[in-house]
Amino acid sequence: MGKDLFEISVNGIKLILIFLMMVQAVPILVWLERRGSAFIQNRFGPNRVGPLGLVQLLADAVKFLNKEDFAPDKAVKTLFYAAPIFALIPATLAFCAIPMSVPLTIGEYTFRIQGYDMNIGIVFILGVSSLAAYTILMAGWGSGNKFSLLGALRASAQIISYELALGLSIVGIIMLYGTFNLTEMVNAQQGLLQFTALGHTVQTSWLPNWGIFYQPLAAIIFFAATFAESNRLPFDLAEGEAELVAGFHVEYGGFKMLMFFIGEYGHMMLASALMVTFFFGGYLIPYATPETVHSWVHATLIESPVGANILTTLLHFISFNIKFAVFLWIFIQVRWTLPRFRYDQLMDLGWKTMLPWALGNTIATAAVIYFVA
């Protein structure tokens, strides 16, 4: 974790900060979701508590904490109470592996703006986030309720089906960049779009070198599959209010339900961050490499090298967050725009449409890399 006490403690605090960043983004997202849905449906939304209704979620959290803590009579108590706690873990662990800015160099220390840098970033994220399905099954089975169990079974079938398309759509990206490391992937997207095909070098004058221009199909499949993974509309069959009341969290109230909420939003954030990292240049600022940004900051704004380093990191962090926020907004917009799928449509889409296309994309990418580049 570091070579001396200072570096180790900074890295430890960083992990806590990333967790808090994820958890604290949830109230803002819920506010955005409620106000956004109201905007889409021509209503007002929460606008009474605090400026623009921003404090509404704080009030809600206090209310949730004060609610009676109960478990149904037929519930399996251990699983029932463990499920909401485990719901937080996968998304948090996976989110820690996302690089959010250029490494910050202060003196002899270099701090990465990410929880931990792993050579197998993608494999780790896929593996950890696949554990999320268990919390849903634990909740569904532990509640001792038929609706919960049906919701949990639907969720597990859905997650198993869409994980295939999700994983296969990433294979194209891995082949393109030739690495599992997320930071290396981001670095590979620097500068303007430029590639070599059949001996000719093609250079565009204004398109950034982002993954989406190489792998548009993978981007679409990946984004659609992440909707299914995070159980949001149009794929929220697990909750389907019309037929299952609220699916796997029928029996949950108060803060336990809120923890499922945080887990769901965590998956949404993870999906947005991965979209940005794979297809939209990660923390990079378009038309500028970290070096040019650093020299510009150093020449025009701040004299001291440490200050310039900090400001460069901050600028890239803001760049990452702007892209990140755009995708979070798309998640919210889609949720309030599209209706829910029917169950057979969901399975058809997963197995008969997205899986073959993702496989085709993998083969096509491999062929192009082998024969053309």
Binding interface with other proteins (CB under 8 A): 79, 118-120, 123-124, 126-128, 130-131, 133-134, 137-138, 141, 149, 153, 156-157, 159-160, 163, 167, 180
Return the structure tokens found at 315: 């600028």
What φ, ψ does residue 111 adopt, rounded to 5°? -110, 130
CA-based end-to-end distance of the chain: 39
Q: What is the DSSP string of 142-182?
A: HTT-HHHHHHHHHHHHHHHHHHHHHHHHHHHHHHHHT-S-H
- Distance, CA of 196 to CA of 36 (rounded, Å): 44
* Closer residue to other proteins in complex, CB, 124/278: 124
* Closer residue to other proteins in complex, CB, 158/272: 158
* Closer residue to other proteins in complex, CB, 134/317: 134
Q: Shortest Cβ distance from residue 226 to other proteins (Å)?
A: 16
Q: Shortest Cβ distance from residue 28 to other proteins (Å)?
A: 31
* Closer residue to other proteins in complex, CB, 124/327: 124
Residue 258 neighbours by CB under 8 Å, 6+ apart: 61, 64
- Side chain identity, residue 191: G
* Closer residue to other proteins in complex, CB, 95/141: 141
Q: Shortest Cβ distance from residue 122 to other proteins (Å)?
A: 8
Return the structure tokens found at 106: 């202060």
Residue 203 neighbours by CB under 8 Å, 6+ apart: 192, 193, 194
* Closer residue to other proteins in complex, CB, 139/315: 139
**In three state form, how does the secondary structure of 215-278 look?**
CHHHHHHHHHHHHHHCCCCCCCCCCCHHHHCCHHHCCCCHHHHHHHHHHHHHHHHHHHHHHHHH
Name the E strands within the chain. 104-106, 109-111, 192-197, 200-208
Q: Shortest Cβ distance from residue 261 to other proteins (Å)?
A: 22
Q: Shortest Cβ distance from residue 287 to other proteins (Å)?
A: 31
- Side chain identity, residue 45: G
Q: Shortest Cβ distance from residue 270 to other proteins (Å)?
A: 15
Q: Shortest Cβ distance from residue 263 to other proteins (Å)?
A: 17
| Secondary structure class of 197 (helix, strand, coil) | strand
* Closer residue to other proteins in complex, CB, 87/133: 133
